[in-house]
Amino acid sequence: MTLLQKIKNWFHDDTCDPKPHKFQKWRAVFKTVDGEEHRTDCTKWIAHEWLICPVPEYIMIIAKEAGYIRDENDKYFLLQNIISIGWTIDEEKTFIQAFDPYSAQVMFSDEELGANK
Protein backbone atom coordinates (compact mmCIF):
# COMPACT_ATOMS: atom_id res chain seq x y z
CA MET A 1 0.00 0.00 0.00
CA THR A 2 1.44 3.35 -1.02
CA LEU A 3 1.65 6.35 1.26
CA LEU A 4 -1.04 8.12 -0.78
CA GLN A 5 -3.45 5.21 -0.31
CA LYS A 6 -2.75 5.16 3.43
CA ILE A 7 -3.50 8.87 3.71
CA LYS A 8 -6.70 8.52 1.66
CA ASN A 9 -7.86 5.60 3.82
CA TRP A 10 -7.11 7.60 6.94
CA PHE A 11 -9.34 10.52 5.81
CA HIS A 12 -11.92 8.53 3.88
CA ASP A 13 -14.19 5.78 5.14
CA ASP A 14 -15.03 3.47 2.22
CA THR A 15 -17.90 1.93 4.18
CA CYS A 16 -20.08 5.04 4.08
CA ASP A 17 -23.81 4.41 3.97
CA PRO A 18 -25.74 5.27 0.82
CA LYS A 19 -27.54 8.57 1.23
CA PRO A 20 -30.21 10.30 -0.85
CA HIS A 21 -28.84 12.88 -3.29
CA LYS A 22 -30.89 15.17 -5.53
CA PHE A 23 -30.01 15.35 -9.19
CA GLN A 24 -31.42 17.55 -11.96
CA LYS A 25 -31.41 17.58 -15.74
CA TRP A 26 -31.32 21.10 -17.18
CA ARG A 27 -32.35 22.23 -20.66
CA ALA A 28 -31.38 25.46 -22.38
CA VAL A 29 -33.55 27.25 -24.92
CA PHE A 30 -31.45 29.66 -26.95
CA LYS A 31 -32.00 32.05 -29.83
CA THR A 32 -29.41 32.54 -32.56
CA VAL A 33 -28.64 35.64 -34.62
CA ASP A 34 -30.79 34.33 -37.49
CA GLY A 35 -33.84 34.45 -35.18
CA GLU A 36 -34.31 30.70 -34.83
CA GLU A 37 -34.95 29.12 -31.44
CA HIS A 38 -33.15 25.91 -30.44
CA ARG A 39 -33.23 23.57 -27.46
CA THR A 40 -30.36 21.62 -25.95
CA ASP A 41 -30.56 17.92 -25.26
CA CYS A 42 -30.26 17.26 -21.53
CA THR A 43 -28.43 13.97 -21.16
CA LYS A 44 -26.49 14.41 -17.90
CA TRP A 45 -27.71 14.43 -14.32
CA ILE A 46 -26.20 17.28 -12.29
CA ALA A 47 -25.71 17.17 -8.52
CA HIS A 48 -26.76 20.78 -7.97
CA GLU A 49 -26.29 20.63 -4.19
CA TRP A 50 -22.58 19.97 -4.67
CA LEU A 51 -21.96 23.16 -6.66
CA ILE A 52 -21.05 26.53 -5.22
CA CYS A 53 -22.60 28.35 -8.19
CA PRO A 54 -25.97 28.03 -9.97
CA VAL A 55 -26.25 25.14 -12.44
CA PRO A 56 -26.77 27.38 -15.52
CA GLU A 57 -23.57 29.24 -14.66
CA TYR A 58 -21.70 25.95 -14.30
CA ILE A 59 -22.96 24.71 -17.68
CA MET A 60 -22.01 28.02 -19.31
CA ILE A 61 -18.47 27.72 -17.92
CA ILE A 62 -18.20 24.35 -19.68
CA ALA A 63 -19.71 25.80 -22.88
CA LYS A 64 -17.31 28.76 -22.83
CA GLU A 65 -14.37 26.37 -22.57
CA ALA A 66 -15.67 24.42 -25.58
CA GLY A 67 -16.77 27.54 -27.49
CA TYR A 68 -20.09 26.14 -28.63
CA ILE A 69 -23.48 24.72 -27.59
CA ARG A 70 -25.02 21.63 -29.17
CA ASP A 71 -28.78 21.46 -29.72
CA GLU A 72 -31.04 18.38 -29.58
CA ASN A 73 -30.55 17.77 -33.33
CA ASP A 74 -26.75 17.50 -32.88
CA LYS A 75 -26.11 20.87 -34.53
CA TYR A 76 -23.33 22.94 -33.04
CA PHE A 77 -23.64 26.70 -32.54
CA LEU A 78 -20.77 29.02 -31.71
CA LEU A 79 -21.38 31.13 -28.63
CA GLN A 80 -20.85 34.28 -30.75
CA ASN A 81 -24.00 33.38 -32.72
CA ILE A 82 -26.25 33.07 -29.66
CA ILE A 83 -28.10 36.23 -28.65
CA SER A 84 -30.18 34.93 -25.71
CA ILE A 85 -30.41 31.83 -23.59
CA GLY A 86 -32.90 30.64 -20.98
CA TRP A 87 -32.73 27.70 -18.60
CA THR A 88 -35.33 25.25 -17.27
CA ILE A 89 -35.18 22.16 -15.10
CA ASP A 90 -36.28 19.30 -17.32
CA GLU A 91 -36.28 16.54 -14.70
CA GLU A 92 -35.44 16.14 -11.01
CA LYS A 93 -34.92 12.89 -9.10
CA THR A 94 -33.43 11.64 -5.88
CA PHE A 95 -30.98 8.75 -6.08
CA ILE A 96 -29.85 6.78 -3.05
CA GLN A 97 -26.21 5.97 -3.56
CA ALA A 98 -22.86 6.28 -1.81
CA PHE A 99 -20.59 8.80 -3.54
CA ASP A 100 -16.95 9.55 -2.95
CA PRO A 101 -16.91 12.90 -1.14
CA TYR A 102 -13.45 13.64 -2.54
CA SER A 103 -14.47 13.19 -6.17
CA ALA A 104 -14.80 16.30 -8.31
CA GLN A 105 -17.45 14.71 -10.53
CA VAL A 106 -20.71 16.68 -10.63
CA MET A 107 -22.29 15.43 -13.87
CA PHE A 108 -23.45 11.83 -14.21
CA SER A 109 -24.89 9.81 -17.09
CA ASP A 110 -28.03 7.67 -16.93
CA GLU A 111 -25.82 4.57 -16.88
CA GLU A 112 -23.88 5.79 -13.83
CA LEU A 113 -27.11 6.37 -11.89
CA GLY A 114 -29.28 3.82 -13.70
CA ALA A 115 -29.22 1.13 -11.06
CA ASN A 116 -30.73 3.50 -8.51
CA LYS A 117 -33.67 4.98 -10.41
55 in any annotated domain: yes
117 band by pLDDT with thresholds 50, 70 and 90? very low
CB atoms within 10 A of CB 26: 21
pLDDT at 11: 61
Q: Give the H or E element holding residue 112.
A: helix 110-113
**Model's pTM, two decimal places?**
0.73
92 in any annotated domain: yes
- pLDDT per residue as tens digits for the range 63-84: 999 999 999 999 999 999 999 9
Tell me the β-bridge partners of 24: 46, 92
Between 113 and 89, the more confident residue is: 89
Please count the structural domains in the chain.
1
8 in any annotated domain: no
- pLDDT per residue as tens digits for the range 76-111: 999 999 999 999 999 998 888 777 766 788 888 888
Q: Domain of 106?
A: 19-110
For the chain, list the strands marked E by DSSP.
19-32, 37-39, 45-46, 68-70, 76-78, 82-97, 107-108
